[in-house]
Structure 1
């Protein structure tokens, strides 16, 4: 877990020229690097850099468009994506069993075969009182497995209120996405 975190930290520390080839404001592009510091919605300004990477399972050639710096970036992040997806699928099997469904209920098209990694970086901000890191949002997937870093501020909506999340060291934060919430309601 920490190997991938260290490599991602190294990626964001690269000179801008090394990251420029991956920069894109095209939301439909799977593999891209973008910055939220230029976004403005309803008066809020978002101070975040993000590297979004898509990975098919089995991996095949889906990582060929990923950054090749820092050294071993593709190999370490690919291994992390495969292991994390495996953990997510096991959690979904356990959830299905707990709900009285077939344990393979979330396999196949519903569980998908792709992993999307959103790697967020919060650079130093000249005036933190005027910025937020990431806008309120709902994840559209079944599960989100979040590996927190040392930047505080993670909040989740619970019973209509935002509550702070205090992550445990060396642990993922697991929360349901919109797709799973809809399935759980029916």
Structure 2
């Protein structure tokens, strides 16, 4: 285990199994749906088939890929280039914009998932440069604070390119949110009011080669806390999704020109478990670094998350109790920052009795 600190080592039951070409333990799947968004270019086209595909993907998988999404691939490559340049800087320079326990944005090389350290380094920034969040996780504490993004001086175009990309991926996220709403039989703008002061952010991940990939994970098993995630990745691969039907880990074949979309906890709660927030993880390897760029669409801090009335009936009572998004967000950030002595917060903690 040369070079692998015990903080990175997963419990035996959560370690990735070795990849063998014909092993049933590692399935490179085409099952995860790929959805073509080209019909959105025609404002008069019938979207019924498209939203039906989305509904099926959200119920069965909680994950799908989109192609012909309209986001400039040239812009995506520009941001990938400047992000790679940032991660190649000396560690002491990257740590000049290091996150801390108050501000969760910036550089971090000590991220934890379920109290095990992830084999990666990251840079996070809020979509809105000044974002309002709760000052603490205490439910009775109503104090708020405004957080700003710490930007590195190098590369010189880092901030400009990253913010341009963030604005474009936000447009794609809201376009998908509208389609998801329609796929549920709701008006396209049903969720719009939850994002007046959104806490959305974009993350850049770098997963370096790992000396013992059979013991560690780039990101441990988890579900995403927010509404939806829009993920761009390179061609290395490593993302695995837990199949809803049997829990089997399915490896997602990378397509650098597509975006991977997954349902987050908020959407699962809003739809009272109709749409699925799938557990997923990232495996690493001994030889190749991997980069990915998830955009997390998050609501405003004051929004309370609970099943929507459209999905509640006498035969289908609420599966969850109400919780405040801002407090949940603050608690999740705290558990991501360092190892805690208690379990990190999950939506299962709000399951109705």
The TM-score, its normalising length taken from structure 2, stands at: 0.47
Residues 11-33 of structure 1: CA distance to partner in whole angstroms, max 9, x if unpaired? 1001112111122352x523121
Segments of 4+ moved more than 6 angstroms: none
Match of 2:257 in 1: 170
Rounded to whole Å, the distance in 1 between the matches of 2:165 and 2:78 is 9
Q: Which of 109, 129, 136 is residue 35 of structure 1 equivalent to?
A: 109
Q: Where do residues 42-61 of structure 1 align in structure 2 (5 Å cutoff)?
A: 46-56=118-128
Q: Where do residues 52-91 of structure 1 align in structure 2 (5 Å cutoff)?
A: 52-56=124-128, 65-91=150-176
Match of 2:84 in 1: 9
Maintained 8 Å contact 1:63/1:74: no
SS at match of 1:82: helix
SS at match of 2:81: helix
Match of 2:93 in 1: 18
Rounded to whole Å, the distance in 1 between the matches of 2:154 and 2:214 is 33
Rounded to whole Å, the distance in 1 between the matches of 2:113 and 2:264 is 25
Is the deviation greater in 160-169 or in 7-16?
Answer: 160-169
Is the deviation greater in 70-79 or in 148-157?
Answer: 148-157
Rounded to whole Å, the distance in 2 between the matches of 1:96 and 1:138 is 20
Q: Where do residues 94-105 of structure 1 align in structure 2 (5 Å cutoff)?
A: 94-105=179-190
* Alpha-carbon distance, 1:178 to partner: 0.8
Residues 112-151 of structure 1: CA distance to partner in whole angstroms, max 9, x if unpaired? 5343112110122233333211111111111100101233
Is the deviation greater in 142-151 or in 111-120?
Answer: 111-120
Maintained 8 Å contact 1:111/1:142: no
The TM-score, its normalising length taken from structure 1, stands at: 0.85
Match of 1:139 in 2: 224
Counterpart check, 1:93 vs 2:181: no
Rounded to whole Å, the distance in 2 between the matches of 1:111 and 1:146 is 23
Maintained 8 Å contact 1:96/1:103: yes
> Unaligned stretches of 5+ in structure 2?
1-75, 132-146, 273-310, 312-353
Match of 1:182 in 2: 269
What count of residue pairs does the alignment treat as equivalent?
181
SS at match of 1:86: helix
> Unaligned stretches of 5+ in structure 1?
none
Maintained 8 Å contact 2:119/2:210: yes
* Alpha-carbon distance, 1:168 to partner: 2.1
- Tell me the C-alpha RMSD between the 2 structures: 2.6
Rounded to whole Å, the distance in 2 between the matches of 1:57 and 1:22 is 15
Rounded to whole Å, the distance in 1 between the matches of 2:228 and 2:91 is 32
